Structure formats: structure tokens, C-alpha cells
Amino acid sequence: MQTNFPASPPSLKDRAPYLVIGSGIAGLYTALELSKSGPVILITKSKLSESNTTYAQGGIAAAIGNHDSPELHYQDTIMAGAGLCVSDSVLTLVHEGPNRVKHLIDLGVPFDRSETNQLALTREAAHSRRRILHADGDATGREVTYSLISKVQTANIRIYEDHFALALIKQQGNCCGVITIHNDQYHSFLAAAVILCSGGLGQIYGKTTNPKIATGDGITLAYYAGAVLRDLEFIQFHPTALYLPPAPPFLISESVRGEGAILLNHKGVPFMSKYHPLAELAPRDIVARAIFAEIEKTGNDCVYLDLARIGVPTIKRRFPNIYNECASYGLDITTEPIPVAPAAHYAMGGVATDLFGRTNIPCLYAAGEVSNTGVHGANRLASNSLLEGLVFGGRIADHLQKLSLTIPEPHQEFEICYPKLYTLFESVESDLTKLHQITGHHLGIIRDQGGLSEAYDLLDLEPLANPKFQLKPDYFELQNMYLIAKLIAKSALVRTESRGGHYRSDYSKPKASWRKHIEFCGENMEVKE
């Protein structure tokens, strides 16, 4: 048992000009680009290949087709973002995206091609053009991850797997390293610049498409270091996750609907045209709420996704991963509709950054889902997430390579931004169940004043009076998730409207006066234009 965090950094494990935390597309690509100009430390809390990116099915959006343009991609992104996108960030994404994607191709990512060797492009919800590149049908994230890992492993990058990032280190206000837990021991790493690429927070929900590692650690690292967090109330629920208990939720890609699949209610009747003119291709938040409404109306636990229009050869070629996963549970998707229900999928909010990934803390950067660049606004456009990690990770690398950086010496004075610890209830397992009950009931697709207030009260825990704890990552992950859920509840209470991924039944319409952002810096909350 531990009684206190160490007052000074523990034994130095490594130091380098650059330190990247996380191994999704943002972390791998940023590290690879930075390694061109100096050594890079790459830390990941599990294995290198375990990230949200690996499980991404749909693909990467980029305006590279003959009938497409960055301007059209911009318009689609702005429309999906429901009035909260940052225009300059979106312009950066759509104009720089095509060249970054071409760089991925140069790095060996095997995107699917047509019989004439042209890149095969598909369409997803709220896109006006076919602009989604995919690989191995519906295994885009896996192919991107494996291609980047093969390059990272031979670059000037020192890789540390199974290192849980516990606390950032600062010196005279500048971020300069991280404390990790590995094999029940503390370790410290120092660097001239620290880049958070630690992914999402889906595991605060019981039903999520995210892997077990998505516990929001990067957001809490930044929070305790004094970084600004923005737009945390906006959570995207993917409309179609496999609902086949006891099987875990499994993402059924938006591309399935893009290729022609139809949503049916329990009577086998299509229903999406009642909710939006684009029907199955409406923005994700609208489709998710429509499915939720149908489930509530009928008392069933799910709706059904019928792939009959797609045809057997196309199903097996485009969606081999989904086909095989469903088959493993005895479901043949070429002859039977897929039972689906919404599940937590993506966080639009995160650590606030500028166009170069800079946070308000000098030398601390963020990219990917942990960040909030302003690209996604209140609702992410499908397949913009991998592109965002790629574009802004690349911009961080480009920016840092122009700077003259000094790596801190281990004997200097440091400030360690340890997390606060709170009194939970019984055990990690039972406390996680309690958290999932709170978030599922009150912070889900439909919210209201009473539920949000109850959630906030339940999540507002007392500080741990006698700090004794086991030095285990799952204990700190649980602490992180309770804090993040509390911040989401507080933001959702303050935003008295419905917009994008935040829907309140007691304020069911968007308000022009709420085209604003809610920010946290420590315990201080502020509403900003």
C-alpha cells in the first residue's frame, strides 16, 4: 500500500526532446514526424496497437475525389457541427487533409482500390460526396495502426509499453515530463515538449464502442496541470452498435448505411424518413435519437439494420470484419438484419488547443480525441476523427521542429501535478458499475435538469482523507472517470439548450444565445464566445 505520492520525481527512466503519450493515429504519426529531427519517447499504457484508432472501421474523410473539394468538405463539417465548429480549424483540416492522407499512402497504408486501381471512396452520414477512404473493407483503423507501427519501430523512437501516465511534470510553468506507473513502480520521463495523444473517454459509459483503455486519462492529466478543457458536454453516441447480449457492444460502421443498409423497427418497418430528410444518412446525433425514440416507443431493446440492399458479394468484400464478428455470435448478416442500439462512441470535447496543438500551458500539446481543436463543434462529422489526429499531429511536429528546445536536467526543481483522490465506495468493480448506472441514466442521449442534478450530486465525491491506495492503473482510471463524468454533468447542466451531441428534453431546441463554449480550468468554469 502507498501512503503518499512522492514529493520529488522518482528515478529517471528516460529523457528526450519530445515525449508523446498515446499510440493511436495522432500519437504514432506525431512521433514519427518528430523523429525526423530528434529522439522521441513514446509512452502507451497498454500495447502499441491498443487504441481507439485500431478499432475504427469506417475510414478517413478527405476531399480527393474528382467531384469533391475542400470547400464541400468544409460545408459538411460545419453543418454537422451544429454551430460550434471553429472555422479556421475546419479550414485547416479540409485543406491540409488530402496531403496528409497521401503521406499515409506513401507510408504504406493499403487503402482499398477499385478494379481500375483508383482509390475506393464511400459515403457516410452527413457527407455530400463519397470521400471516405477505407482499408481491408471495414478495418481501416487496424491497417493504419499496423502500417504506422511498422515505421515507428524502426525510427528514432524509444517505445515504453504498459506505462500508465499518472501526472504531468512542470518546471517554472512549462510542462516538461510525466510520472508513470509500470509494474507497481513509479517512473519519470523528462522532455522539452510533451504531446498528449491519449485518446477518448468512452469507458465512463457501460455501453460503448471504445476499448477498455479509453478512460480519459489525458483529460485528467491536463486538468490537474491547469490546462483548459472545452465542450465536455458533447458526447457522440454511435447509432448502430451490435445489440446481442451477452456479446459486448460492437461498432457497426456508418459505412454500412452509406452503402445502402436500412434501419427497421421491431415490425420490420423503415422509420428514419420520419425523423430527417436524409433518413439513414442524417447526422449521427439525429440517427441516434431516432433509434432511441423507436426503442422507447416500442419497449424493445434495439432496432434492426437490414443489409439486403447491399448484396452478399459487397457485404463480404466491404465489411469482412463486421461479417466475421457477427458470425462468431451465430448471426449471418447476409440473410438476417443486425440488432443494433446506440452506444457511447466519441467525445467532441477535450483539452483546448490552437491550430498548432498548443494548450494554455507552455510546452504541452494535444492531438486526436483527447484534444478540442474546434473541428467537430457539437457533433463530429463521420470519419473526420482519424483525419483530425493526422492533420493536427502533423502540425504539432512541424511547429516543434522549428523551435530551439532545451531538455530539463534531472537535478532541477519540479512541480508534479498529481491527481486529487476521492473517496469511492467499495471496490473498483462495484464502483465502476455505480458510475455506469449514473452515466447511463443521466448523461446519455436524452438529458434533463433533474437527472443531471442527481448525477452531479452523486459524482461530487469527498476528497480522500487518508490517502492510502494500491499503485494500480485501474484505481486511477476509475478516479479519472468519476472526475470526467462530474465535469460532463456540470457542463450539461449549464447548457440549457439542445445542440449536436447534447440533447435536453426540457430544452429541446438550440438557442442562438448558446453558440458558446463551456471551459474548465481547474475547478473554475467559464462560458466563452
Q: Burial level of 446, CB count in 10 A (0-12/13-18/19+)?
A: middle
What pLDDT is attached to residue 61? 97
Per-residue model confidence (pLDDT) at position 284: 85
Q: Are 32 and 155 in contact (CB under 8 A)?
A: yes
Residue 440 has pLDDT above 90, yes or no: yes
> Is pLDDT of 255 > 60?
yes
Residue 276 lies inside a defined structural domain of this protein: yes
Report the chain's mean pLDDT, rounded to a whole number. Answer: 95
**Cis bond upstream, residue 419 (ω within 30):** no
Last residue of a domain, one of 327, 344, 361: 344
Within-domain flag for 255: yes
> Dihedral of the CA atoms 350, 64, 277, 320 (nearest 10)?
-80
Within a domain: 263? yes
Taking a C-beta distance cutoff of 8 angstroms, is the pair 274, 368 a contact? Answer: no
Q: What is the pLDDT of residue 264?
A: 97
Q: What's this model's pTM, rounded to 2 decimal places?
A: 0.95
- Give 152-200 pLDDT, tens digit per residue: 999 999 999 999 999 999 999 999 999 999 999 999 999 999 999 999 9
C-alpha separations of 380 from 237, 346, 469 in Å: 10, 8, 38
List, for residues 449-487, the tens digit of each pLDDT value. Answer: 999 999 999 999 988 877 677 789 999 999 999 999 999
Question: Are 406 and 391 contacting, i.e. CB atoms less than 8 angstroms apart?
Answer: no
Three-state DSSP state, 416: strand
Q: How many domains does the chain have?
A: 2
End-of-domain residue from the set 344, 366, 395 = 344
What is the model's pLDDT at position 411? 85
CATH code, domain with 484: 1.20.58.100
Instruction: Report the residue count for the chain.
Output: 529
* The three three-digit cell numbers of residue 334, written as one number: 447476409
For residue 507, the enclosing domain spans 420-528
Q: What is the pLDDT of residues 43-98, one digit of tens each?
A: 999 999 999 999 998 899 999 999 999 999 999 999 999 999 999 999 999 999 99
Q: Which residues pair with 164 in a beta bridge?
A: 181
- Please report whether residue 386 resides in a domain: no
Rounded CA-CA distance 100/391 in Å is 6
Quick one: average pLDDT of 511-525?
A: 97
Instruction: Report the alpha-carbon angle 362-368-370, nearest 5.
Output: 70
Residue-wise pLDDT for 89-127, tens only, equals 999 999 999 999 999 999 999 999 999 999 999 998 889
Reported as type and span, the H/E element at residue 263 is strand 262-264
pLDDT band of residue 425 (cuts 50, 70, 90) is confident
The answer to whether position 424 is within a domain reads: yes
With beta carbons less than 8 A apart as the criterion, state whether 144 and 25 touch: yes
299 located within any domain? yes
Which domain CATH number covers 317?
A: 3.90.700.10
- DSSP SS3 for 268: coil
Give, in degrees to the nearest 5, the angle at Cα 302 between 296 and 304: 125
Q: CB neighbours (10 Å) of residue 340?
A: 25
| Mean pLDDT for the stretch of residues 233-238 | 96
- Predicted pLDDT at 1: 52
Q: Per-residue pLDDT for 369 more than 90?
A: yes
Predicted pLDDT at 467? 65
Percent of the chain with pLDDT over 70: 99
- Please state which of the ranges 230-239, 416-425, 441-450 shows the lowest mean pLDDT: 416-425
DSSP 8-state assignment for residue 65: S
Instruction: Determine what percent of the chain is predicted with pLDDT higher than 90.
Output: 89
In a domain, 505, yes or no: yes
Query: Sorting pLDDT into bands at 50, 70 and 90, what band is 251?
Result: very high
257 is a domain residue: yes
Residues annotated as catalytic (active site), given as ranges: 284
E strand spans, 74-113: none
Q: Beta 121-122 vs 132-133: how paired, if at all?
A: antiparallel
- What φ, ψ does residue 360 adopt, rounded to 5°? -75, -10
Question: Which residues contact residue 45 at a Cβ distance below 8 angstroms, ignoring those fewer than 6 apart?
Answer: 162, 163, 164, 165, 198, 213, 217, 473
Using the 3D structure, point to which of 317, 344, 371 is the last residue of a domain. 344
Question: What pLDDT score does 419 carry?
Answer: 94
Residue 424 and residue 511 in one domain:
yes
Q: Is 358 helix (H, G, I), strand (E, B) or coil?
A: strand
Between residues 215 and 248, the one the model is more confident about: 215
Spatial distance between the Cα atoms of 319 and 165, rounded to a whole number of angstroms = 35
Nearest to 229 by CA among 350, 346, 347, 392: 350
Q: How far apart are CA 141 and CA 130, in angstroms?
A: 19
